[in-house]
């Protein structure tokens, strides 16, 4: 048996119709189509151009952050700290692992949170804050553990009974907590 590996050369869109039939296309003609798979090479080129073309303005997202903070009962300073650490306020950011948007949602997490477009700042922040609320509830309000789970995953924090012994996660937690203190002070 031979398997062929192909690389995606265009964004792929998907929608499921009323009869349960799933449709895919690289040229959506209907607004029911939602992004399913991104052309990462094209996306990286676009992000690079966008980063060079515009400066980041965190104030631009203040209303979205305030609204999500109030809706889910998560401090605005924590939300800002996570956005700062995850994407540097770049709504078009994509990580090497495929996380995207301001709060760097993984595709599976975005789907489970009903985020149809991770590059839409409102959808992304609302989904990310909803997930933070879940993590804070899971860890009984322990911000360090919730932030560690946001980075490393819920299962890893549960397995280690605390912040996992990964340098990346420990650095991330310290960075987010530091940013959070700075946002609280301002």
The catalytically annotated residue of 16, 86, 126, 168 is 86
Q: Which residues pair with 102 in a beta bridge?
A: none
Contact 109, 131 (CB under 8 A): yes
Residue 153: what are its φ and ψ, rounded to 5°?
110, 145
- Based on the number of CB atoms within 10 Å of its own CB, is 177 exposed (0-12), middle (13-18) or buried (19 or more)? middle
Helix axes 143-152, 76-87, angle to 10 degrees: 30
Residue 13: what are its φ and ψ, rounded to 5°?
-115, 155
Other CB atoms within 10 Å distance of the CB of residue 101 = 26
- Based on the number of CB atoms within 10 Å of its own CB, is 110 exposed (0-12), middle (13-18) or buried (19 or more)? buried
The answer to whether residue 126 is catalytic is no
Cβ within 8 Å of residue 145, ≥6 positions away = 135, 139, 157, 162, 163
Catalytic residues: 86
């Amino acid at each position: 048996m031979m398997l062929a590996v192909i690389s995606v050369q265009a964004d792929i869109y998907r929608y499921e119709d009323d009869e349960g039939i799933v449709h895919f296309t690289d040229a959506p003609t209907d607004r029911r189509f939602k992004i399913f798979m991104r052309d990462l090479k094209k996306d990286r080129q676009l992000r690079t151009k966008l980063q060079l073309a515009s400066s980041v303005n965190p104030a631009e997202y203040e209303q979205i952050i305030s609204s999500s903070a109030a809706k889910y009962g998560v401090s605005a300073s924590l939300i800002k700290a996570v956005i700062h650490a995850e994407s540097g306020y770049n709504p078009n950011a994509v990580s090497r692992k495929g996380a995207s948007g301001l709060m760097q949602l993984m595709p599976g997490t975005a789907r489970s949170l009903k985020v149809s477009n991770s590059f839409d700042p409102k959808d992304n922040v609302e989904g990310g804050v909803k997930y933070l609320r879940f993590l804070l509830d899971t860890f009984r309000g322990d911000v360090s553990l919730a932030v560690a789970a946001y980075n490393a995953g819920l299962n890893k924090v549960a397995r280690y009974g605390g912040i996992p012994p990964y340098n990346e996660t420990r650095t991330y937690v310290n960075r987010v907590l530091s940013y959070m203190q700075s946002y609280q002070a301002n």
